[in-house]
Amino acid sequence: MQPQYSLVIPIYNEEQTLPELYRRIGAVMDRMDGQVELILINDGSRDRSLTIIRELHQKDSRICYLSFARNFGHQIAVTAGVNFARGQVVIILDGDLQDPPELIFDMIEQWKLGYQVVYAQRTQRRQESWFKRMPAYIYYRILRHLADVEIPTDTGDFCLMDRCVVDILNKMPERNRYIRGLRAWIGFKQTAVKFERDPRFAGDVKYTFTKSLGLAVNGLVSFSKVPLRLSTYLGLFAAFVSIFMGLLVLYWRIFYSSSVLTGFATILMAIFFLGAVQLVSIGILGEYIGRIYEEVKDRPLYTLSEVAGFERKHHL
């Protein structure tokens, strides 16, 4: 029988959290008003996570799992989980209990009111350092201005999606995945439920600075062509400045016989400025070309070393 609800949770080195995660998710699943499957995706963990996941699967038949052959990253892990989900409704949440599972009931309530996407929106990031909050705050606001679709601010991947949205998401082949953006792009009736983000239950943050930065760049580049245009603007600006300086020099030459513009400083500045503009432009171009290259290679999104709990065959 098809489950009504699928819960998708990516797991990367979460051995310390898994037992508590199961306790809290289990309690929520018991109270849900339909058949539930819990899909855990082991994203190439190097600790005992996979062993614990296997044990949980033995103990509780509602738990299915996928195991990647290596670490592919959070967005790809979520994608795999969503690919395999069989429910009429798919709910994505983090494995570190920062997304309170109890909020699922509020999401389901909204779904029953006719919304196809219900995303969780943070009102507060408790105990996350200012150092992490501030860039996130600025980033989401820049993204909102630049992106082609309206990506709601302060939302993560914690959300509920109806089958009609999930089917479309599954058809999107891109590998530089920014799920919260794709979700917004798909459309349908979407709404938010507010929540306070809890601190991580145990263990370290798995999103390193580089990974977070990568995700942030992904969001911008995948959903906006404004950065490309930026180099045009910068180039125009540099051209304007040089014309202005040329006229200035001409003016000085004509009206003041002695040359005012002497010395290296001016020349050096001009060279550095132009060099910087060109390098930045090439860099921006590179971001887009690199992505084209990635997409063109058309490799599978992930490799699986173990799959359990799904009776039905899936396309891998």
Of these partners, Mg ion, ligand UDP, none, which one is at the site of residue 81 (CB under 5 to 8 Å by kind)?
none
Give how far Cα 89 sits from Cα of 108, 109, 299, Å. 9, 12, 28
> Regarding beta strands 63-68 and 304-308, do their DSSP bridges make them parallel or antiparallel, or are they unpaired?
antiparallel
Cβ at position 188, least distance to ligand UDP in Å = 25
Distance CA 165, CA 162 (A): 5
User: Closest CB to ligand UDP among 95 and 181?
Assistant: 95
Measured at CB, which residue is nearest to ligand UDP?
A: 95
15 lines the binding site for ligand UDP (CB under 6 A): no
> Interacting stretch for ligand UDP, rule CB under 6 A, among 10-18, 83-91, 245-253, 299-307?
10-18
Cβ at position 99, least distance to Mg ion in Å = 8
Nearest to 10, CA basis, from 61, 60, 82: 82
Residue 212, helix vs strand vs coil: helix
Mark 192-231 with x for binding to ligand UDP (rule: CB under 6 A) and - for no binding: --------x----xxx------------------------
Identify the residue among 42, 49, 98, 190 touching Mg ion (CB under 5 A). 98
In the chain, the amino acid numbered 33 is D
CB atoms within 10 A of CB 173: 9
Site for ligand UDP in 286-315 (CB under 6 A): none
How big is the site for ligand UDP, counted in residues (CB under 6 A)? 17
11 lines the binding site for ligand UDP (CB under 6 A): yes
Distance of CA 265 to the CA centre of its chain: 44
Give yes or no for a contact between 34 and 117, defined as CB atoms under 8 angstroms apart: no
99 lines the binding site for ligand UDP (CB under 6 A): no
In the chain, the amino acid numbered 159 is C
In the chain, the amino acid numbered 206 is K
Tokens of 283: 């860099």
In the chain, the amino acid numbered 258 is S
Q: In the 8-state DSSP scheme, what is residue 48?
A: T
71 lines the binding site for ligand UDP (CB under 6 A): yes
Give yes or no for a contact between 21 and 14, defined as CB atoms under 8 angstroms apart: yes
Of these partners, Mg ion, ligand UDP, none, which one is at the site of residue 77 (CB under 5 to 8 Å by kind)?
ligand UDP
User: Closest CB to ligand UDP among 53 and 221?
Assistant: 53
User: Closest CB to Mg ion among 137 and 244?
Assistant: 137
User: Closest CB to ligand UDP among 70 and 312?
Assistant: 70
Dihedral in degrees, nearest 10, Cα atoms 128, 96, 141, 75: 140
Tokens of 129: 């350092």
96 lines the binding site for Mg ion (CB under 5 A): yes
**What is the Cα gyration radius of the chain?**
25
Q: Residues interacting with Mg ion, by CB under 5 A?
A: 96, 98, 200
Q: Residues interacting with ligand UDP, by CB under 6 A?
A: 10-12, 14, 43, 71, 73-74, 77, 94-96, 98, 200, 205-207
